[in-house]
Chains A and B, each alone.
Chain A
Amino acid sequence: GEDVEQSLFLSVREGDSSVINCTYTDSSSTYLYWYKQEPGAGLQLLTYIFSNMDMKQDQRLTVLLNKKDKHLSLRIADTQTGDSAIYFCAESTNAGKSTFGDGTTLTVKP
Chain B
Amino acid sequence: DADVTQTPRNRITKTGKRIMLECSQTKGHDRMYWYRQDPGLGLRLIYYSFDVKDINKGEISDGYSVSRQAQAKFSLSLESAIPNQTALYFCATSTGTSGSEQFFGPGTRLTVL
Residue numbers of A with Cβ under 8 A of B are: 1, 8, 30-31, 33, 40-45, 48, 50, 88, 92, 94, 96-103
Contact = CB atoms under 8 A, between A and B. Distances in A.
Contacts of B94: 96
Contacts of A1: 59
Top 10 nearest A-B pairs (CB, nearest first) are A42-B104, A102-B42, A31-B99, A100-B43, A45-B101, A43-B104, A103-B42, A100-B42, A94-B98, A42-B106
B67 to A, nearest CB: 20
Contacts of A92: 99
Interface string B78-103: 00000000000010101010110110
A72 to B, nearest CB: 15
A96 B31 contact: yes
A42 B43 CA distance: 11
Contact of B48 (A43, A48, A97, A103): A97
Contact of A88 (B43, B45, B96, B106): B43
B48 A41 contact: no
In this complex, the member of A31, A40, A96 whose beta carbon has the largest number of chain B beta carbons within 10 angstroms is A96
A102 B35 CA distance: 13
Given A41-B107, A45-B101, A50-B99, A97 B40 contact: no
A13 B50 CA distance: 43
A102 B41 contact: yes
Nearest to A2: B59
A98 B106 contact: no
A20 to B, nearest CB: 14
Nearest to A89: B42
A36 to B, nearest CB: 11
